[in-house]
Amino acid sequence: MDTSNPAAFVNGGLLGMHVGRKVRAVIQVIRSDVGSVLGKSTDDRQIVVKGSPPAPLTTYVEVIGVAENDNSIRAEIWTNFGDTFGIAFYSF
């Protein structure tokens, strides 16, 4: 495990403070297109996640990648969290 560059846990409100850095977020998938996913962060803000999501894609997904701006992430790692998730316990 590479611990030299850990990913900061973010929600939609914190994403802009980490532009250009590695981040980690859980989103609720709203729509999936070729090469991107539109999702809702744990604080109800919309985030665009760019990259190739896993197939099949579940309702809740954790992504690790680089924050491109205050509402998008270029994903490196996608992890399906299933179709139900205790988002209230994950919010910060």
What is the tally of structural domains in the chain?
A: 1
DSSP 25-73: EEEEEEEEETTEEEEE-TTS-EEEEES---SS--SEEEEEEEEEETTEE
The reply to whether 56 falls in a domain is yes
**Which CATH number fits the domain that encloses residue 13?**
2.40.50.140
Q: Which domain holds residue 63?
A: 8-80
Q: What is the pTM of this model?
A: 0.88
48 inside domain: yes
Per-residue pLDDT of the chain (92 residues; tens, 9 = 90+): 556 678 999 999 999 999 999 999 999 999 999 899 999 999 999 999 999 998 899 999 999 999 999 999 999 999 999 998 876 666 55
Is 2 part of any domain? no
Say which residue the tokens 């790692």 belong to. 77
Q: With respect to residue 90, please indicate whether it lies within any of the assigned structural domains.
A: no
Does 89 fall in a domain?
no
Residue 74 lies in a domain: yes
